[in-house]
Amino acid sequence: MAPKQSSKKAAKFYSEDIVRKIGDPARVAMVGRSWHDADDQAIPLNPSDPLELPLKKGEFGITDIEHRTRHIVPESEYELVDRTFRVGDVCKRGIDDVASAVVLNTRCELRLKHAISGEPVEGWVPGNEVENKPSVMLGDYVVCNDWVGQVEEIFDEAIILLNDKDLVRVADMGGRFAVGDRGMDILPATGHAPFTSGTSQCILEVQPSVLAVSWLAVNQWLTPEESANRPRPHQFWTAEDLHELTYVKIRSESVTRVPDRVTFKDPEAYQRYNVTKTQHKGESGRILEVETMVVTESRSTVKIMWQNGTIEEVLGTSVIPYLNVDEYDCWPGDFVRWKNEDETRVAVIQSTNAQSRIAQVMWYGTHPPQIETVSVLELDPHGPSGTETFGVRRGDFVFLHRPGTTNGAQLPAVPRIGELEEWVREPPPMSQPHPSHTHSHSHGHTHSDENGHFHVYSDGQDQAAYDVSLSDAGWRGVMATLGMKLAEEGAAQAQYHAEQLGREKRIVKVQGFKGGEIHWFGEVLNLTTGGLLQVMLPHGETVEVPLERVTLLNNEGLDELAAWAEDNLSMEGGSSYGSDEVMEEVVYPDGQPLQEEEVDGWETEGSGDGDEDMGSAGSWGNDDDDREMSIPGGFIPASRSPPESEPVPAPAPAPTTTTDKEASPPPPPVPGPSTAANVSGGSILDTLDEANSPWHRFEVLSSAPVDHAYYTHKTTSAQPPRSFMTRLTKEYKVLASSLPNTILVRAYEDRSDLLRCLIIGPQNTPYEDAPFVIDWFLDSSFPQTPPQAHFLSWTNGNGRVNPNLYEEGKVCLSILGTWSGDKNESWSAARSSLLQAFVSIQGLVLVKEPWFCEPAYDKLRGTEEGIVNSRLYSEKAYVLSRGFIRRALEIEVGGLETEIEWYYIKQGRLAKSIADARALIAWSEAGEYEAPKEVLKESDPAVGVLSEGAVIMLRRTLDKLDAILKERTKSS
């Protein structure tokens, strides 16, 4: 059964939606940006494009289709007309729903008008009766000599009507022309007739004349010997060459929308729909017939399959794109890896209950098929990042291996192949050369504008002579030279006769591509629950193959190129550790900030008055007063606790919202987890007598443990500079006196470049009482460069416990230089410290609602979408972090064994964690607590209810913890 229509409709639009101004039916626009989109790119200081301006909540950017202008407008003034989807997209009924569906197929109905005359076509036209024009677009796939390539650039030829009488040929690279576009600025004015300012211009015809193709990968059906005899095809392809290429139609991308240009597939359809083609005659007698039409309105229907297996057809406007997909979401037919502490198996999804977070899976390869119910939190639908992925998705392109062979990967992994050729990554020249040209009486002109578009214009009366020099423009210059040469030849040789209706041999038609059967490459249409893939081959045949017989084509070429270009542009800005940054001030024990000039050792050499405390000027004492802290080679404090003569300051509070200790959730029949939200710790550590317990916040041990993540790392300098030692001594002093009770730090006598810290999860967060161990490495360039951190992830491959804490160990935080966030939050040698890094992780990462730690999601705080996704993420974080307690007790964490045993066993925190978790399970199964639909209040529990899938996984962990508690209690 499909989910019911959501009671809360999304009051917002999404990218590529077609909208209409309320009260003005003629004002139709396409959505370009919305306030809830991820901020992937920095906003320019002085944006020339209105859509680059920052958006407020409730605003979105549009492109007015009729006038081709861009604006930022309020959502309340527009209504949704159509929403298109591609095969493989996922959608939901509403933003507050948890159930989602995958798009299996799409169809649309169109309203059309003639591109030149504007005469409307009567009635709705089925989308499958038309094809897009031009037929070849950037990103399309072509096949030649057993190679698959991707179109990376197109050089177009166009016919433009000037002043309703002259037909001129235009060559341009960049794909900016569209049939029916009108204006007086399509062609730059040259001052030579007819290219003068004020000239009316209308585009009549556009066709590609040159293609630049990057060859991605070779046929996997071939033997290694056969592959070796398949050289990579050449780079540029012209009209004469196209018969050697096989064009692969990307079905999942074949979405027709407003204001696409289209033509009928069947020439007789023009008569059937009473479409009158326009004919245009130039002064020289040329006639060009235009049959292109413009899509003015669309009505899309999508065939979708819900996670529970229900299939239905709905209007595109009745569902919304599911953009922030939960990492555990999967749909029938998906291959996944099921994993718990003791076993790993390959499974195929049969159905998923999104609300309960459980799935019916078939264990792959079992005969007869074995079906079992599992928690989705124990499933990995994606696999590790890199050269492999788990399974394939609808709409993916795959290579087929010959029967009896496999892709060589371990199921459910599928290898990916396909790499952009190096020439594609060549950056465009900063300033394009302007080819020289001659006019005489030829009315010819070539041009390269400021946007890197190359042009050649000619009315064809006489052959134009060009002296083109584009060597500095790289392959784009070579392509432009070739394209302009073809345009010049075409202009000289063109013969327009009425009976030919303007069909000129230089204008490329897609029919020029090669046909024929290709049995080794195709597009994934569907995934069966039996574990087979339905693949459509280029000639239309559909075959079924097992997963182990396919290799995935890496289809992120254009996206990869865009990201590469963006990275190269961002690198031009220089290092983020410059001295001219504006940094947030860090306050230390006496309440004073560190001074700007204190870079190497937080102070200017020789400054200070000998007082250990920071003075009113904010500077530390001079180096001579650090003798107790400075032991050669190890930098070991003389005392492992603060000197008795110095008052121990209160633990530095983490910069996060806390709740009052007395606050409690709505009274449940069974108590849920503790709601005390004092980040500094629970009651045990609040009243801790450090001198009489093994719980010492800072210690220097004799040797570093061999299990330290950076144990084998070496500093760039064999002998650290004096600034390193001076700074480290001061860092040790601050750590010894100012660490909160819930953070332990261990340094090492034999390795002054290493540290290890243990952070106890703050109360009333999903991480409550869980141990988080992070290893640190200080290069000899410290403090000029930030410390390096490695998080010991104990999730057993079941996903991240936090968006900022990666399974491979990365800690994503601005202060560590691992996230390019606000420069005010970046590491500064003058103002940042190790203490700040430790406290930032506890206070800014291990928070009550960790889903919002992802920068792109913070703007969704308080929205229905944010509430739903945050609740699901917190549930996962809670269950996974209970496993961290188990791992910390099962394995000996070098240098922290005694402290972990004392905290969890002797002080009863393990027993409390088990009791809290079992109470939460009972509370959830009682069904009397409804998941929050509003923003969490301070008094609300971070995790107030668990889904059935979370309970399944948590029970396994609790059984292990019970056994550990029983064994340790008995032995003690």
Residues, the chain: 972
The structure tokens listed for 120 are: 């409307």
Q: Which of 4-18, 114-128, 643-657 has the largest mean confidence?
A: 114-128
Answer whether 107's CB lies under 8 Å from 127's CB.
Answer: yes
* 838-883 pLDDT, tens digit each: 999 999 999 999 999 988 888 788 888 888 889 999 999 999 999 9
| Residues above pLDDT 90, as percent of the chain | 50
602: pLDDT strictly greater than 70:
no
Rounded distance between C-alpha atoms, residue 971 and residue 965, angstroms: 10
- Alpha carbon of 579 to those of 597, 716, 815, 958: distances in Å? 10, 22, 15, 50
The H or E element spanning position 771 is: strand 771-777
291: pLDDT strictly greater than 60:
yes
* 667-691 pLDDT, tens digit each: 343 334 443 333 334 556 666 666 6
How would residue 331 be classed by pLDDT, with cut points 50, 70 and 90?
very high
- Reported in sequence order, the residue ranges of 22-127 that DSSP labels E, i.e. its strands, are 28-34, 59-64, 69-74, 78-82, 90-92, 101-114, 125-126
Answer whether 329's CB lies under 8 Å from 872's CB.
Answer: no
Whether residue 637 sits in one domain with residue 551: no
Whether residue 640 sits in one domain with residue 742: yes
CB proximity list for 659: less than 8 A, separation 6 or greater: 675, 676, 677, 764, 938, 939
Answer whether 215's CB lies under 8 Å from 232's CB.
Answer: yes
Is residue 581 in some structural domain? no
Q: Which tops the pLDDT comparison, 31 or 863?
A: 31
Say which DSSP state 73 is in. E
Residue among 2, 226, 239, 224 at smallest CA distance from 97: 2
CB proximity list for 271: less than 8 A, separation 6 or greater: none
- Overall average pLDDT of the 475-500 stretch: 66
The structure tokens listed for 23 are: 């009260």
Answer whether 114's CB lies under 8 Å from 51's CB.
Answer: no
Answer whether 721's CB lies under 8 Å from 675's CB.
Answer: no
653: pLDDT strictly greater than 50:
no
Angle between helices 948-971 and 864-890 (to 10 degrees): 30
The structure tokens listed for 442 are: 């030829």
- Overall average pLDDT of the 627-633 stretch: 38
Rounded distance between C-alpha atoms, residue 235 and residue 476, angstroms: 11
* 78-111 pLDDT, tens digit each: 999 999 999 999 999 988 889 999 999 999 999 9
* 550-585 pLDDT, tens digit each: 999 987 655 554 444 444 433 344 333 333 332 233
Answer whether 552's CB lies under 8 Å from 393's CB.
Answer: no
DSSP string, 453-511: -EEEEE-SSS---EE---GGGHHHHHHHHHHHHHHHHHHHH----GGGTT--TTS--GG
Question: What pLDDT is recorded for position 340?
Answer: 81
- Overall average pLDDT of the 616-623 stretch: 38
Whether residue 956 sits in one domain with residue 876: yes
Q: Is 242 exposed, middle or buried (0-12, 13-18, 19+ CB in 10 A)?
A: buried
* 786-835 pLDDT, tens digit each: 999 999 999 988 889 999 999 999 999 989 988 776 667 789 999 999 99
Residue among 416, 346, 418, 356 at smallest CA distance from 381: 346
Q: Which of 82, 111, 135 is the last residue of a domain?
A: 82
- Overall average pLDDT of the 773-779 stretch: 96
Rounded distance between C-alpha atoms, residue 19 and residue 949, angstroms: 40
Rounded distance between C-alpha atoms, residue 80 and residue 19, angstroms: 5
Q: Is 915 exposed, middle or buried (0-12, 13-18, 19+ CB in 10 A)?
A: middle
Residue among 750, 836, 736 at smallest CA distance from 786: 836
Question: What pLDDT is recorded for position 662?
Answer: 34
Rounded distance between C-alpha atoms, residue 790 and residue 808, angstroms: 8
Question: What pLDDT is recorded for position 96?
Answer: 84
Q: Which of 59, 82, 105 is the last residue of a domain?
A: 82
Is residue 707 in some structural domain? yes
Whether residue 642 sits in one domain with residue 540: no
Is residue 22 in some structural domain? yes
Least confidently predicted of 23-32, 504-513, 912-921: 504-513
SS3 of residue 656 by DSSP = coil
- Overall average pLDDT of the 285-297 stretch: 88
655: pLDDT strictly greater than 50:
no
Answer whether 950's CB lies under 8 Å from 876's CB.
Answer: yes
Question: What pLDDT is recorded for position 342?
Answer: 76
- Reported in sequence order, the residue ranges of 88-200 that DSSP labels E, i.e. its strands, are 90-92, 101-114, 125-126, 130-132, 141-144, 147-162, 166-173, 182-183
629: pLDDT strictly greater than 50:
no
Answer whether 947's CB lies under 8 Å from 357's CB.
Answer: yes
- Overall average pLDDT of the 763-781 stretch: 95
Is residue 217 in some structural domain? no
Whether residue 632 sits in one domain with residue 534: no
Answer whether 697's CB lies under 8 Å from 741's CB.
Answer: yes
Rounded distance between C-alpha atoms, residue 466 and residue 689, angstroms: 88
Rounded distance between C-alpha atoms, residue 362 and residue 346, angstroms: 9
C-alpha 215: how far from chain center: 25
Whether residue 657 sits in one domain with residue 724: yes
Sign of torsion over alpha carbons 89, 95, 100, 106: negative
Residue among 548, 535, 545 at smallest CA distance from 407: 548
Least confidently predicted of 156-170, 509-523, 661-675, 751-765: 661-675
How would residue 302 be classed by pLDDT, with cut points 50, 70 and 90?
very high
Whether residue 756 sits in one domain with residue 643: yes
37: pLDDT strictly greater than 90:
no
Into how many domains does the chain fold? 3
Is residue 803 in some structural domain? yes
The structure tokens listed for 705 are: 């443990």
- Overall average pLDDT of the 247-261 stretch: 81
Question: What pLDDT is recorded for position 34?
Answer: 82
Residue among 362, 370, 293 at smallest CA distance from 332: 362
Is residue 805 in some structural domain? yes
Rounded distance between C-alpha atoms, residue 742 and residue 758, angstroms: 8
- Alpha carbon of 9 to those of 5, 838, 959: distances in Å? 9, 42, 42
Question: What pLDDT is recorded for position 434?
Answer: 37
Whether residue 791 sits in one domain with residue 663: yes
The structure tokens listed for 881 are: 């972090």
Which of 108, 202, 812, 853 is the catalytic position?
A: 812
603: pLDDT strictly greater than 60:
no
359: pLDDT strictly greater than 80:
yes
Is residue 543 in some structural domain? yes
Give yes or no for a cis peptide into 3 (omega within 30° of 0). no
CATH number, domain at 704? 3.10.110.10
- Overall average pLDDT of the 502-526 stretch: 64
334: pLDDT strictly greater than 90:
yes
Whether residue 781 sits in one domain with residue 854: yes
* 453-476 pLDDT, tens digit each: 444 454 443 333 333 445 556 888
Answer whether 400's CB lies under 8 Å from 519's CB.
Answer: yes
Q: Is 108 an active-site residue? A: no
Least confidently predicted of 149-158, 471-480, 741-750, 782-791: 471-480
Residue among 475, 103, 518 at smallest CA distance from 322: 103
Angle at 670 between CA 666 and CA 675, to 5 degrees: 50
Question: What pLDDT is recorded for position 253?
Answer: 66
Is residue 643 in some structural domain? yes
The H or E element spanning position 261 is: strand 261-264
What does the mean pLDDT of the chain come to?
78
941: pLDDT strictly greater than 70:
yes
In degrees and rounded to multiples of 5, residue 149 shows phi and psi of: -125, 165
Whether residue 748 sits in one domain with residue 644: yes
Answer whether 569's CB lies under 8 Å from 434's CB.
Answer: no
Written as one letter, the residue type at 183 is G
How would residue 369 be classed by pLDDT, with cut points 50, 70 and 90?
very high
How would residue 420 be classed by pLDDT, with cut points 50, 70 and 90?
confident
Q: Which of 41, 60, 82 is the last residue of a domain?
A: 82
Whether residue 560 sits in one domain with residue 665: no
Whether residue 947 sits in one domain with residue 832: yes
Residue among 385, 378, 395, 384 at smallest CA distance from 328: 378
Question: What pLDDT is recorded for position 796?
Answer: 84
Residue range of the domain that includes 341: 330-420+519-564
Task: Quickly tell me which residue has 């303007």 as its tokens.
Answer: 502
- Alpha carbon of 55 to those of 50, 675, 863: distances in Å? 10, 37, 16
pTM of the model: 0.78
How would residue 508 be classed by pLDDT, with cut points 50, 70 and 90?
very low
